Amino acid sequence: MRTAGIALTLAALVLVPRAADAQLSFDARRLGMGGVSLGRDGNARRYNPAYRAVKNLSGGGTGAPRITIPVPLGLYDFFREHPINQLTSDPAFNPDSAAFNPIELMNIVLNPPIFLDIRKPPTPTNNVEFTIGKNQLIMNLGQTRVLIPDHSFGFGTSGRLVDMGFGFGGFNLSVMGFVHYDLSFTLDSALRSVLKDTVPVRPDSSYFIITDAIAQTGLTPTLSYAGRIWRPATADSVPGQTGPNANADDGVYLGAAAHYYFGATYGRGVGPAGFTVGDPIFGNVPTVLFDGLVRTSNRPNGRGIGADVGIAWISGPFEVGIGANDIGAELTWSDTKIQRILYDPNGDSISTTMLSNHVETKTKLPISYIANAALRMGTGTTVGGDVFNAGRGTVIHVGAEQRWGPFAARGGVARDQRKKIQFGFGGGLRLGAFGLDVGIWTHSPSLSDQRAMTMATSISVY
Amino acid sequence: MKALATAALLVLVTGCGQGKAIFNVDIYSFMAGTGADTIPYVIAPASSGSVSTFSRVQLPPGFGSSVVDSVRITLGNANLMNSGGTGTVGFSIFFAPDSAGTMTAASALDIPPTTVSGSNTVPVAITGDLSPAIYSLFASDTLWMRIAATGNNPGVTPVTGTGVLTALVIRVVLQDKIL
């Protein structure tokens, strides 16, 4: 089991960075447009405070539905292959089974089979070859060498858990919970060369991964404002603009929020982990290399300030917005301890040494931002796009929707966090307050550079 | 060793899925200089005899669930450095989980006898597929190998010399069920 645990962990390290953008949404409309949201919901409202003053479009046209219910066709497929009453004995989930594959299991965890896989993410098919001698170790991973990351990799996010408050006018006073975690790994160049370039392991050398992990959470009382600061004089009287796309929303909207962060707890660990081989390589037992600096808060006393700002301009069929969160958000923790955790090869033990206690340290929250634009043409066509970054790489979505009465066709492209181009297309049928949508999109969530293709289905209630 | 095993697992995990794990183990490199790479022989007149050398073979851990596809000596060379007499010397290779077990195990590979005569050095190639009966041993991380030199002396003077191993690489192919 321990081996399986290690395997799963290692598999996660390889898989997670590639899965970060895997599950965009449960909305087949959005997935069919490559991930872009043409409405004023979701990311626009979350990351651009100005949009909190803009009415969400609903009830027609490109409006967002009140409720989107995913139709989980993928679950039927999954449980047909893995009967639910046999999951405990399913070879795919039993590490002692010859059919157990941690890569596939991690794929399931990171990409829940809600929707139907049209082309499943391929599991690596490859021969790996090792040349072992007393003073020689060469690893040839074949095609899977492409999976060894060239740069830092990891996963993390900065999110807000709750938002409770009250407001009047455009002002709002609330308390939000925040959480930020980030785990990144960097292979040192020697280890990367060994794994990726089939460079022989050199005697008397160290090979390691540098880990940098941080997690912090707390509460932030927030005073925010969102409102229309400029309204065109003709906003209510432009001929031909009626219905949900009317220009009643025209104007410039501004949003801003000031946060005072109360950090509850935080921890950060940085350091290398690996091994040092002897000379000759297999003549001596390799030495474990583990040397980490760990900073942790003694008390829930993180303090800091930060701000969100955003602006949106709506002019008839066109709108554009840009917003950023947690600007200048730096927390000062006045009571923290710094420890060194070191592996002692002589005693085969890990020692913890207090380097300093009751000292001040600082942490930052990553800045998140979004820029979005949409153009609603009078012919039933809507095009839009957004650029989004939640602290771990930029994602770009561009998509369009064409409506003909109750029918809709959609398409889009995206550049994911791995800078890989993905595609989406789909369609929908709306009858009254209900709509059925289908979206097909490509993604690269697994240990492969090949794209997988998934079909999402959802029912929308308008 | 834990670190190396972990590093190996990192590598191996990335190779999961359909495929094969191939190990080219240079066993000679572990034997060279230890004395295990030489087999002195003295065969009395009109008799036959056998001498052996033992070596432990170390493979990466974590292959207990694997199915061994094939095991082959892809590169093997020895020199029969005969110093006197005329006879034949052949080699047999045995594998077992422990050194004692190699004495009772069936041979995994037999190299036909080579004629030696006088003061001369005769090269011998040691290559070939090993018996499938011992494949399962290669799923473990440690096994023992015995190389036996079997001599026959039909003459009236003793046959003496030394068999010196100069290369021995075993290629183990595992069906990719590493964990």
DSSP per-residue letters across B75-140: EEEEEEEEEE-EEEEEEEEEEESSTGGGGTSPPSEEEEEEEEESSEEEEEE--EEPPGGGGGGGGS
- For residue A12, pLDDT beyond 80: no
CA distance A159 to A148: 29
Range among A32-46, A99-113, A278-292, A358-372 with highest mean pLDDT value: A358-372
**Residue A354 exposed, middle or buried by CB count within 10 Å (0-12, 13-18, 19+):** exposed
Across A184-193, average pLDDT: 90
Question: Domain-by-domain residue ranges, chain B?
Answer: 2-175
Interface pTM, i.e. ipTM: 0.83
Is B46 at the interface with chain A, CB within 8 A? no
**Closest CA relative to residue A220, chosen from A267, A171, A258, A182:** A258
Higher confidence at residue A418 or residue B152? B152
- Phi, psi at A417, each rounded to 5°: -65, -20
DSSP per-residue letters across A240-285: T--GGGSGGG-EEEEEEEEEEEEEEEEEEEEEEEEEE--SSTTTSP
CA distance A40 to A170: 18
**Of B7, B16, B26, Cβ closest to residue A207:** B7
Q: Which residue has the tokens 């600007």?
A: A327
> Is B88 within 8 Å of B151 (Cβ atoms)?
yes
For residue B21, the chain A residue with the least C-alpha distance is A128
Instruction: Give the largest CA-CA distance in chain A.
Output: 86
Is A199 at the interface with chain B, CB within 8 A? no
- Quick: pLDDT tens for A342-360: 998 888 888 999 999 999 9
For residue B67, the chain A residue with the least C-alpha distance is A98
The one-letter amino acid code at B145 reads M
Strand A302-315 to A67-70 pairing: unpaired
CA distance A162 to A177: 5
> Is A376 within 8 Å of A400 (Cβ atoms)?
no
Is B47 at the interface with chain A, CB within 8 A? no
What DSSP state is assigned to residue A199?
P
Instruction: State CA A67 to chain mean position distance.
Output: 23
Is A87 at the interface with chain B, CB within 8 A? no
Residue contact B24–A126, C-beta within 8 A:
no
Is A406 at the interface with chain B, CB within 8 A? no
The one-letter amino acid code at B135 reads Y
Instruction: Give the largest CA-CA distance in chain B.
Output: 62
What DSSP state is assigned to residue A21?
T
Q: How confident is the model at residue A376 (pLDDT cuts 50, 70, 90)?
A: confident
Whether the link from the prior residue into A280 is cis, omega within 30° of 0, is yes
CA distance A333 to A329: 13
What pairs with residue A97 in β-bridges?
none
- Quick: pLDDT tens for A253-264: 999 999 999 999
Coil, helix or strand at residue A335: strand
The whole-angstrom distance between A124's CA and the closest CA on chain B is 5
- Above pLDDT 70, what percent of chain B? 83
The whole-angstrom distance between A286's CA and the closest CA on chain B is 6
Residue contact B32–A133, C-beta within 8 A:
no
Tokens of B179: 């964990």
Residues 102-161 (A) with a CB less than 8 A from some CB of B = 102-104, 123-136, 139, 141-142, 144, 147-148
The whole-angstrom distance between B64's CA and the closest CA on chain A is 10
DSSP per-residue letters across B55-72: EEEE--S--TT-EEEEEE
- Residues with Cβ < 8 Å from A325, sequence gap 6 or more? A47, A158, A308, A367, A368, A369
> Is B59 within 8 Å of B95 (Cβ atoms)?
no
**Of B2, B15, B177, Cβ closest to residue A144:** B15
Q: How confident is the model at residue B130 (pLDDT cuts 50, 70, 90)?
A: very high
Q: How confident is the model at residue A247 (pLDDT cuts 50, 70, 90)?
A: low
CA gyration radius for chain B?
18
Higher confidence at residue A432 or residue A106? A432
The whole-angstrom distance between A333's CA and the closest CA on chain B is 35
- Above pLDDT 70, what percent of chain A? 83
**Closest CA relative to residue A118, chosen from A36, A31, A38:** A31
- For residue B15, pLDDT beyond 60: no
Residues 3-22 (A) with a CB less than 8 A from some CB of B = 3-4, 6-7, 10-11, 14
The one-letter amino acid code at A237 reads S
- Residues with Cβ < 8 Å from B44, sequence gap 6 or more? B153, B158
- Residues with Cβ < 8 Å from B128, sequence gap 6 or more? B72, B73, B109, B111
The whole-angstrom distance between B3's CA and the closest CA on chain A is 6
Residue contact A127–B21, C-beta within 8 A:
yes
Dihedral of alpha carbons B50, B53, B54, B57, sign: negative
What DSSP state is assigned to residue A366?
P
> Is A303 within 8 Å of A277 (Cβ atoms)?
no
The whole-angstrom distance between A268's CA and the closest CA on chain B is 23
Residue contact A125–B17, C-beta within 8 A:
yes
Architecture of domain B2-175: Sandwich (2.60)
Q: Which residue has the tokens 């997935």?
A: A31
Residue contact A6–B20, C-beta within 8 A:
no
Q: How far is CA A113 from CA A31, A125, A440, in A?
A: 15, 22, 14
- Residues with Cβ < 8 Å from A60, sequence gap 6 or more? A243, A244, A462
Q: Which residue has the tokens 């077992």?
A: B96
> Is A304 within 8 Å of A43 (Cβ atoms)?
no
Is A292 at the interface with chain B, CB within 8 A? no
CA distance A111 to A27: 15
Q: Which residue has the tokens 């009395």?
A: B44
> Is A149 within 8 Å of A16 (Cβ atoms)?
no
Q: How confident is the model at residue A304 (pLDDT cuts 50, 70, 90)?
A: very high
Q: How confident is the model at residue B62 (pLDDT cuts 50, 70, 90)?
A: low
- Quick: pLDDT tens for A57-106: 543 344 667 788 989 888 888 888 888 888 777 877 776 665 666 666 76
